[in-house]
Amino acid sequence: MTLTLLDWAVITGYLLLMLLLGLYFRRRSSQSTEDYFVSGRQVTWWLAGTSMVATTFAADTPLVVTGLVYTQGVAGNWLWWSFLPSGMMTVFLFARLWRRSGLLTDVQFAEMRYAGKPAAFLRGFRAVYLGLLMNCLILGWVTKAMTSIVGSALGKSETTSLAICVLFLIPFTGFYVSLGGLWGVLWTDLFQFVLKMAVVIAVAYYGVAAAGGMPAMLAKLAAMRAAAGPGASNITGMFPDFSRGLTAEAIWTLPVLTFLVHLCVQWWAFWYPGAEPGGGGYIAQRIFSARDERHGLLSVLWFNIAHYALRPWPWILTALAAAALYPGLEHPESGYMLVATTYMPHALRGILMAGFMAAFMSTIATQLNWGSSYLVEDFYRRFIRRDAGEKHYVNVSRIATLLLVAASAYVSAKLATISQGWEVVLEVGAGTGGVYLLRWYWWRINAWSEISAMATALVMTLALHKWPIFDGSAPVIFAKTTLTTTAVTTAVWVLVTLLTPAEPDDVLLRFYRKVRPHAAGWRHIAVLTPELPQTRDLGRNLLAWVLGCAMVYATLFGVGKLCFGQVRTATVLLGSAVVCAGLLYRDISQRVGAGSSEGADA
């Protein structure tokens, strides 16, 4: 793809704008680590929520979705659509609890909820494990994707493309992030999200047009399915093909097994960045930055709506266009860039590259700021130097950001594929989700519950990779492996919880007074605080959770049906979504008013 002088001017203007935003927020983020990492807790819901969406819209996302649709059909997206129940649980069961905690990072939760050396160890270990190791793995696979995009767009070798990302784009992002802190990240994310959405909508439009328009494209895909034989699945189907039934044999084959794992296990049992059971990571960071509980809840609600219902269809339509235009691709993920670079008008190619840079840099920016918050607040400040001034910790935060830049560059050079990174992250988090959900709602969970869960999941993942015991296709092996890891990990942490002592009452009392969780799982502690009104909102929160999931899934499938010209079905689905939205609006208005901080609900 040849870039003109105008294209380079667009790219340069985009980079200058990012730098100016970082410089603009430099003074505002330099007052304290609270300003640097959580924007002084003054962020509105729409800005925090849009930043979450922008972060999850990485450079690799359109490519991965294209690969899923190309090889497994639209239904292949259940790999990540299945995380919606976890996201909605964060909205209604955990967002207000996180905001009440008043924490700066979610890793600090360890020493708020637990006591003694196990709590300190858990906090320090998670700070390094998540902030450095897992964070660099995430940064590495995102960089790997951007390397592929740069090489495809500019015709450069992998070595040259990697050098452009590692020696320029990542350091440039790290520089403006280190200047502007979270304020800079939030506002650059807002601009980048608008730019990215405009670009992917344009790519989808020109891709479908190149395939002859929507009716012609769907007809060609149907003809390709008919030519493939009676066993071929429908690429536009939104659910897997269950035509073989749920026999004992079929359950252990693709696609039944993988779908059941995604929908029934993955969302609550797996730790995954941006979809952690109970919230966490940069999702929790945005909640901490919100003005109050209401803004915190609404920020995650807007994130889930935009993330699952509004954002996917431009990618999916482009993937379908790639399947129609380029049947038999050896590397299906490359289909997205083929469509983008071949059919986008020459005049828009500078904007196309700026859009991909925005996708890359928005994720890099959040991961750098979030990761450095762990390294500084939960490791350096907690275990190395505890008595320095705020200016010192802000400066150390900037140094930590640059350290992550160098580490992520090294990891990206070592990763073989994009999928290799996210598969490892999913596997080492399998089975830990139950602890992250129950630690808020059951007083008996202790530090050893979390430690044993993390350790068992890691050991099981390493063991099953070294001594594989399953066969079949890669998705089936992945499903069986993660199911086994989940079962063993869950059994271990439940047993450890019951065999080890509970946390001291004084620690549990402080946590209960601060967060005010649902009283049913805290009866032992609730009776010690008769002066506090008991929170008993779990039933209404679960009802809101069901409504939220129904609203988003109905919108997701309704938009898809509308794109495919099935207007009657689309109308029913979108109408159902509106009804669910109205019920949710009434519930939120009644229970979570502006500035809400009360914990007791009817």
Mean pLDDT of 386-395: 85
Q: In the structure, what pLDDT confidence band is assigned to residue 555 with cuts at 50, 70 and 90?
A: very high
Q: Which of 39-43, 53-57, 177-181 has the lowest mean pLDDT?
A: 177-181
pLDDT exceeds 80 at position 355: yes
**292-334: per-residue pLDDT in tens?**
999 999 999 999 999 999 899 999 999 999 999 999 888 888 8
Average pLDDT of the chain is: 86
Does the pLDDT value for residue 597 go beyond 70?
Answer: no
* pLDDT above 90 for 243: no
* Whether residue 7 has pLDDT greater than 50: yes
Q: What is the average per-residue pLDDT within 541-561?
A: 96
Look up residue 521 and give its DSSP letter: G
pLDDT of residue 400: 86
pLDDT tens sequence across 539-549: 999 999 999 99
Per-residue pLDDT, 257: 67
Residues 6+ apart with CB under 8 A from 322: 66, 70, 207, 329, 332, 335, 336, 338, 339
In angstroms, rounded to a whole number, what is the distance separating the alpha carbons of residues 347 and 292?
45
Residue 602, pLDDT > 70, answer: no
Mean pLDDT of 551-573: 96
Reported confidence tier of residue 572, pLDDT bands at 50, 70, 90: very high
Structure tokens at 54: 């922008």
pLDDT band at 337 (very low <50, low <70, confident <90, very high): confident
Confidence tier at 248 by pLDDT (50, 70, 90): very low
Question: Mean of the pLDDT values across residues 65-90?
Answer: 90
Distance from the first to the final alpha carbon of the chain:
60
pLDDT band at 231 (very low <50, low <70, confident <90, very high): low
pLDDT value, residue 173: 84
Task: Please give the model's pTM, rounded to 2 decimal places.
Answer: 0.88
Query: What does the pLDDT read at residue 249?
Result: 47
Comparing 55-59, 251-255, 300-304, which segment has the lowest mean pLDDT?
Answer: 251-255
Average pLDDT over residues 422-427: 69
Q: What is the DSSP letter of 518?
A: B
pLDDT > 90? residue 551: yes
Token pair of 293, please? Answer: 């509980």
- What pLDDT score does 175 carry? 83
- Mean pLDDT throughout 447-465? 91
Helices (H), 169-246: 170-210, 214-228
For residue 535, the SS3 value is strand
User: Other C-beta atoms within 10 Å of 537: how many?
Assistant: 19
Report helix, strand or coil for 296.
helix
Domain ranges of the chain: 5-428, 542-602
The conformational region for residue 245 under phi > 0 = left, psi -120 to 50 = alpha, else beta, is: left
Calculate mean pLDDT across residues 45-71. Answer: 89
pLDDT for res 600: 40
DSSP secondary structure letters along 324-376: HHSTT-SSGGGHHHHHHHHHS-GGGHHHHHHHHHHHHHHHHHHHHHHHHHIII
Compute how many other C-beta atoms are within 10 angstroms of the C-beta atom of residue 543.
14
The phi, psi pair for 315, rounded to 5°, reads: -65, -45
| Better pLDDT: 117 or 137 | 117
Domain at 5-428, CATH class: mainly alpha
Token pair in block for residue 181: 């802190």
| Distance between CA atoms of residues 28 and 514, nearest Å | 29
Q: What Rg do the C-alpha atoms of the chain give, in angstroms?
A: 24
The tokens for 398 are: 């900037």
Per-residue pLDDT at 443: 95
> DSSP 3-state helix, strand, coil percentages of the chain (rounded to 5)?
75, 0, 20
Task: State the average pLDDT over residues 446-455.
Answer: 94
Report pLDDT for 510.
Answer: 94
- Identify whether the C-beta of residue 169 lies closer than 8 Å to the C-beta of residue 160: no
Summarize pLDDT for 185-211 with one digit per residue, the tens: 899 989 989 999 999 999 999 999 999
pLDDT of residue 1: 64
Separation of alpha carbons 106 and 123, rounded Å: 9
Averaged pLDDT, 280-299: 91
Cβ proximity of 511 and 102 under 8 Å: no
Range picked from 44-48, 135-139, 362-366, 480-484 for highest mean pLDDT: 44-48
- Cβ pair 142, 360 in contact under 8 A: yes
Q: Which two tokens stand for residue 483?
A: 């199911």
Q: What is residue 114's DSSP assignment?
A: S
269 vs 252, which has greater pLDDT?
Answer: 269
Token pair recorded at residue 257:
């097994």
How many Å apart are CA 456 and CA 431, to the nearest integer? 9
pLDDT number for residue 251: 47
The pLDDT tens digits for 457-485 are 989 988 988 888 877 666 677 778 888 99
